[in-house]
A and B are shown apart, each in its own frame.
Chain A
Amino acid sequence: MMDCSEIRNLLSEYLDDALDAKAKALTDEHLLACPACREELDSLKTLVKGIGAIESVKAPADFLDQLHIRIERRPKMSAIWKWFFFPLRVKIPLQLAGAAVMALIIFSILPLQQSSLKLHSKSEQEKKAEDTAFYVDESKGIKPAKRPEALVQKAAIPESAKGTREVALNFKRQVRAKATTAEPSAAPASPAVLEMQKQKLSARAPAQEDKKEEPLEKEPESVLPITKAIEVAKGKILSVDYNWQTGRPESVHAEVPAGGLPILYERLREMGDLQVSPETGTEKDSDVVHLKIRIIVSP
């Protein structure tokens, strides 16, 4: 059984016959027994009747004429402005089409950006190598090359070394007892070399436990022996290329007097197997030979 306050909350809907059957039956039952709520209902009926009795206000007689004038005078919407007020059935397909075009653009640009990112990450790796790259400045001698300069230097090499002789220096892996292996030098090294040393340490760690013999790379961690050999041959180092992934030196570009070649080759042969490409045409007429010493590490 509902109390008066609950019933009075239902009287508005009761008056409009908007209650469901159960609520209507409860209200009917209550009203039969409650004169106060009946009075409240009568008061509400009078109110609604009174509101409905408010006289209506008619539009002026010239309403349509005024409307015609207003329609004629209203500012014409520009085509662009109208575009914003297209109905949803037009706008939604247009928006979907726009979204599809955007998605196409994004997915066609994304791979390019990713490759750009890869290039960027490559250059980050290269940075390590290039920080240790050298080029020869006639006035200042050998100095570390900044990245753009190194790129310029590298780009300049093929132009100036059309008659470059290819020299391949093949380092063979050797097998040595772990016990004889010395710890890496404490001397400061380039980030790339440090990384190599870390890799070596991690590779050596398990071997130290069982003291077994393991293959050790006698790879050139620096190109110092090669550069020394070039110096002995009175040559100049133009640049050193490092592998951007491993940080290992891959090739040395040098300019060597023709007379110094035999001693250079001799020194290089002491380091590993040496293969020399035939003389180039330009080399025959020149006192200076451009060399590209490729450093190969074979198992």
Chain B
Amino acid sequence: MTSSGEDALLVKAFQKGDKRAFDELVIRHQDRIFNLCYRFLGDYEETNDSAQEAFVKAYDSLSTFRLESTFSTWLYRIAVNTCKNKLGSSACKAKRKTVSLDNPGNPSDDPLHMEIPNGAPSPLARMEEKEKMALVQRALDALPTEFKMVVTLRDVEGLSYEDIAEITGLNLGTVKSRIARARTDLRNKLRGVL
């Protein structure tokens, strides 16, 4: 069974009263939603808050969710809107001025741990790679929200144009043109880095 098919079964189980089915859905999607929120917000605490808020909203609305789209698309949409609201809040704007891209905020969980194979680059090369990724993240953060959203969904999350259109509520042409513009902007900023 596909991943979305398993999600649908869990959704139906929840709608029939099995509250544990929701826990299973959270476990299946928490890392992707968390990562997505982090890419949008760039701050670990705010990411944790927004990701939880997205799941709470999903919990409250799941009983009326009719599976017209896949659960993951629906959940992405909730998360994107939650992050957009968060980015629009003045508190978040003020905090983002002082956020450090190199410090996700929870060293004990080692969120920046890179999956590097054994025998791979030296510590110096790892440091350089880490620095490069920080620059890419900084360039992403510098994009206007509407461009950062679509390019993150496409190039970080690997979603299709159609899914991005459904999640963001934009039409397909707008999604394509925004991704193209965002990539052009990023390429200009990261020339010499990537």
Contacts and interface: CB of A to CB of B under 8 A. Distances in A.
A12 B31 contact: no
Given A63-B52, A70-B56, A57 B35 contact: yes
Contacts of A16: 154, 161, 179
Contacts of B186: 47, 51
Contacts, number: 100
B121 interface: no
Which one of A16, A47, A61 has the highest number of Cβ atoms from chain B below 10 Å of its Cβ? A47
A97 B191 CA distance: 61
21 contacts: A9-B180, A13-B180, A16-B161, A16-B179, A47-B190, A49-B194, A50-B136, A50-B190, A50-B193, A50-B194, A51-B136, A51-B151, A53-B133, A54-B39, A57-B104, A58-B31, A58-B109, A59-B34, A63-B26, A67-B52, A71-B56
Interface of B: 23, 26-27, 30-31, 33-35, 38-39, 44, 47-48, 51-52, 55-56, 59, 64, 104, 106, 109, 111-115, 132-133, 136-137, 140, 151, 154-156, 158, 161, 176, 179-180, 183-184, 186-187, 190-191, 193-194
A210 interface: no
Chain A at the B interface: SS class? helix
A116 interface: no
A48 B35 CA distance: 17
A114 interface: no
B36 to A, nearest CB: 9
Contact of A12 (B176, B190, B194): B176
Interface of A: 9, 11-13, 16, 18, 43-44, 46-61, 63-64, 66-67, 70-71, 74, 87
A139 B191 CA distance: 108
Which one of A11, A16, A18, A58 has the highest number of Cβ atoms from chain B below 10 Å of its Cβ? A58
Contacts of A58: 31, 34-35, 109, 111
A11 B177 CA distance: 11
Contacts of B180: 9, 11-13
A135 to B, nearest CB: 72
Given A47-B186, A48-B183, A51-B151, A61 B156 contact: no
A74 B184 CA distance: 43
